[in-house]
Structures are given as structure tokens and as C-alpha cells.
Amino acid sequence: MRCHTCARPANVEIRRSRIAFCAGCYPHWFRARVQERIDHDRMFRRDERVLVAVSGGKDSLALWHALTRLGYRADGVYIRLGIGGYSRRSQEKCERFAEWHGLMLHQVDLEGSEGFVVPDLREARSGKPCAACGTVKRYHFNRVAAELGYDVVATGHNLDDEAATLFGNLVHWNIDYLGRQGPVLESTHPGLVRKVKPLYRLSERETAAYALIERIDYILEECPMAKGAKSLAYKAMLNSLEEQQPGAKYGFLVGFLKQGRAALPGTGFEPAAELRACARCGQPTTAEVCAYCRMADRGRRRRERARPPAGVDPT
Ligand code: Q46
Ligand code: ZN
């Protein structure tokens, strides 16, 4: 195949559109798609400050890279989740990326500032902390952005992530979640910062190709807690469908956003009149004390119980 832009031999094929690009032209195509979504979905303007939530993986670092190349004022935020060696290595990738490109990286150290780590939040039934981990991430991304005056938080969710989430919500008929799923979650309260997903129409393969060509050094290993996650099963199913029907994943997600979502209750834009400040941390919540503060208490108690008594050497 030949490059769609310059007709040289192509390296990256976009099967759903039946086009391909050489390594020189591909990053331009990728960034143009990101720009298109930012403009078309009104994610943010040039004069707004963007906070990119980074994990050390290809998607978030590719997004940060693309936004800075497109000329946006984008800083990063990384949360030290405390998941052993995986967290240390991913932190290193983010720090190196920021240093190499001369960018600002904010960090939240869960253990140091909150007194617990994500593995303390494992559920008794599944042994997984992923639901709680999601709450931790959403809470701190929003808190850091609100406290430091960012206009928007951008995450690296790609087409595969979004299609898998949609599939999971359909399998379980989570109508409320379906109604809220989308590339832009508008702020409904002064303490809630707008959330956007500029990569939502680009596949995992396309993002990986961008990271590779732009020589982005990202963490290849998956979080050890992800093993056996339902989302991986949904992704595998969608990938096998995509193999047989190129473009199926894209059509599934984009078709839903264009047609299916409008038919559902709750679009995520309703005024959240019932929100008030958490009595403990001041962040917006519907309860007296927010879900994060209650969860953090549990994490601290578990950490306390697991700690060996003073004077006892754990080795
Ligand atoms: S980081 Fe957190 Fe993921 Fe690890 S503990 Fe689960 S949710 S798998 S994206
Ligand atoms: Zn709180």
C-alpha cells in the first residue's frame, strides 16, 4: 500500500477507512484527528488550560504529546497509586516524558498524603480494587484541576476503551451509565471541572503506532490488578468482530453516540442542583460526606490493621 498523503510505501494501515500512511505522514494524520475532535465536540479552546491525566501508558502519553505539538497549554497529573513495582515504573515513565519535553507534571502521592494505597481498597468478593481505584483517580484529577485553576481534564481513553465500556453497559443494561457515556462531560458545578476524551475515535492500534513513531517511551506492562477484568474480555470480543468486519468497533461507538444516546435518560448535562460541599474535604458531592472520603477511611483502617505492631520486625 502507498501513503495516502505522499504516495511513498506505507507503514500504518487504517483498515476501517482503507487508507495508509508512511511513518513521516502518519503523526500529522493522527494529530489532525485529535484536533478535529477537540473542535467538533467543543472540548476546549486554545486559551484554556488543559490538565492531562497520565498513567505512563501509551494512550495518555500520546495524548499529552499530541496536545503539546498542536500548541495547547497542557500540563500532566500523575497519581501514585502504590501498586508495587508497576506504579514505580509507570511514575518513572511519566517523569521522564515530562523532563524530556520540558513539561509540568503534578503528582499525587496516595500513601504520603492520604495514608492508604489502592491495594488497600480490594473488594472482599472479587479481590480487585478497580472500582475504588476509578473513584480515587476521578476524585484527584478533578481536585487537582479545580485547585490549580485548569479549565479541563483530558484523559487518554481510546476507541477500544470506549467501545468496551459501551458493550459492558449494554450487557448489564446500565441505563444511567449509558446515558452519561460520551467524549465530553460538562461541568455542572463550579467545583467540577469539564472532562474530555480527545482520542475516543482513535483505536488502540492507531495510538500505539503514534507512540512508536514519535518514540514515546511508555510502560508496556498492564497493571497487575487488571488480570481477569471484564473490560479485557469485552475488548477481545470486539477485536474478533473487528477482524471480520473492519470498522465495526467505530460504527458501534459512534452510532451509539449519534443515535442511541439521545434516546436515553440522563445526558450528563443536567444541572446538579443537589450537589453540595463534602463536610470533610469540600469537594462536590450529593451526600454529607463524599464517597471518596468514606472510602479513604476504609483504606486507612485496613492499612492500619495490616501494619505490624511497633517493635516487631516484619522480615
Ligand atoms: S490502575 Fe486501577 Fe486500572 Fe490497576 S487497579 Fe484496576 S483501575 S487495573 S485502569
Ligand atoms: Zn470528601
User: For 289-305, how does the pLDDT look when each residue is reduced to its tens digit (9 = 90+)?
Assistant: 999 999 999 999 999 88
Q: Which of 48, 54, 95, 55 has its CA nearest to residue 72?
A: 48
CA of 62 to the centre of ligand 1 (A): 19
Residues found in the chain: 315
Q: Which atom of ligand 1 is nearest to the CA of 229?
A: 8
Cα 130 to averaged position of ligand 1 atoms, centre (Å): 5
Residue 114, Cα to own-chain centre: how many angstroms? Answer: 22
Q: Is residue 76 part of a domain?
A: yes
The pLDDT tens digits for 225-284 are 988 889 999 999 999 999 999 999 999 999 999 998 888 765 545 555 588 999 999 999
Report the pLDDT value the prediction gives residue 305, as an integer from 0 to 100: 86
- Among all bound ligands, the one having the nearest atom to the CA of 132 is 1
Ligand 2 geometric centre to CA of 46 (Å): 32
CA 115 from chain centre, in angstroms, equals: 24
Residue 218 in any domain: the answer is yes
SS3 helix, strand, coil % of the chain, rounded to 5?
50, 10, 40
Among 20, 8, 29, CA closest to 214: 29
Atom of ligand 1 nearest to the CA of 55: 1
**Average pLDDT for residues 42-64, to the nearest whole number?**
98
Exposed e or buried b per residue across 130-157, where buried means at least 16 C-beta atoms within 10 angstroms of its C-beta: bebbebbbbbbbbbbbbeeebbbbbbbb
If we measure between CA atoms, which residue out of 80, 93, 51, 92 comes closest to residue 68? 51
How many structural domains is the chain composed of? 1
Give me the mean pLDDT over the 65-80 stretch. Answer: 98
CA of 282 to the centre of ligand 2 (A): 6
pLDDT value for 306: 81
Inter-residue contact 78 to 105 (CB < 8 Å): yes
Q: What is the pLDDT of residue 272?
A: 52
- pLDDT 10s digits, 148-162: 999 999 999 999 999
Report which bound ligand comes closest to the CA of 227: 1
Q: Measured in angstroms, how far is the CA atom of residue 151 from the centroid of ligand 2? A: 21
pLDDT value of position 227: 86
Give me the helix-helix angle, 248-255 and 159-171, nearest 10°: 70
Q: What percent of the chain has pLDDT over 90?
A: 84
44 is written with which cell numbers? Answer: 476546549
pLDDT at 92 (0 to 100):
98
Using DSSP's 3-state secondary structure scheme, residue 77 falls into strand
Dihedral sign of CA atoms 13, 17, 19, 24 in order: negative
Choose which residue among 118, 139, 234 to substitute to test ligand 1 binding: the one with the highest number of ligand atoms within 8 A of its C-beta.
Answer: 118
For the segment 134-153, the average pLDDT, to the nearest whole number, is 97
Q: What is the pLDDT of residue 180?
A: 87
Taking 90 as the threshold, does the pLDDT of residue 145 lie above it?
A: yes
Residues 6+ apart with CB under 8 A from 85: none
- Cα(199) to centroid of ligand 1, in Å? 19
Look at residue 258 and tell me if it is in a domain. Answer: yes
* Ligand nearest the Cα atom of residue 290: 2
Q: What is the CATH number of the domain that holds 252?
A: 3.40.50.620
Residue 218 has pLDDT above 70, yes or no: yes
| Domain annotation covers residue 19 | no
DSSP string across 120-139: GG--TTT---HHHHHHHHHH
Within a domain: residue 26?
Answer: no
Residue 313 is predicted with a pLDDT of 61
Q: Which three cell numbers stand for residue 9?
A: 510505501
pLDDT, averaged across the chain: 93
Ligand 1 centre and the CA of 301: distance in Å?
A: 21
Q: How far is it between the farthest Cα atoms of the chain?
A: 71
What range does the domain containing 255 cover? 38-305
Grid cell for residue 29: 494524520
Q: Is residue 197 part of a domain?
A: yes
User: Which pLDDT does position 270 carry in this prediction?
Assistant: 54
Query: Which H/E stretch holds residue 175?
Result: helix 175-180
Question: Given ligand 1 and candidates 223, 227, 231, 234, which is best to mutate, with the most ligand atoms within 8 Å of its CB?
Answer: 223
Closest residue to atom 8 of ligand 1, CA basis: 226
* Residues at CB less than 6 angstroms from ligand 1: 118, 129-130, 133-134, 223, 225-226
The ligand that comes nearest to the alpha carbon of residue 57 is: 1
243 in any annotated domain: yes
pLDDT given at position 117 = 97
pLDDT, position 179: 87
pLDDT of 314 over the 90 cut: no
Q: Which of 225, 227, 231 to mutate to test the pocket of ligand 1 (most atoms within 8 A of CB)?
A: 225
Residue 47 pLDDT class (50, 70, 90 cuts): very high
Q: How confident is the model at residue 40 (pLDDT cuts 50, 70, 90)?
A: very high
Burial (CB < 10 A; 0-12, 13-18, 19+), residue 273, is exposed
9: in domain: no
311 — pLDDT class (breaks 50, 70, 90): low
**DSSP string computed for 34-51:** HHHHHHHTT---TTSEEE
Q: Kind of pairing, strands 73-80 and 105-109?
A: parallel
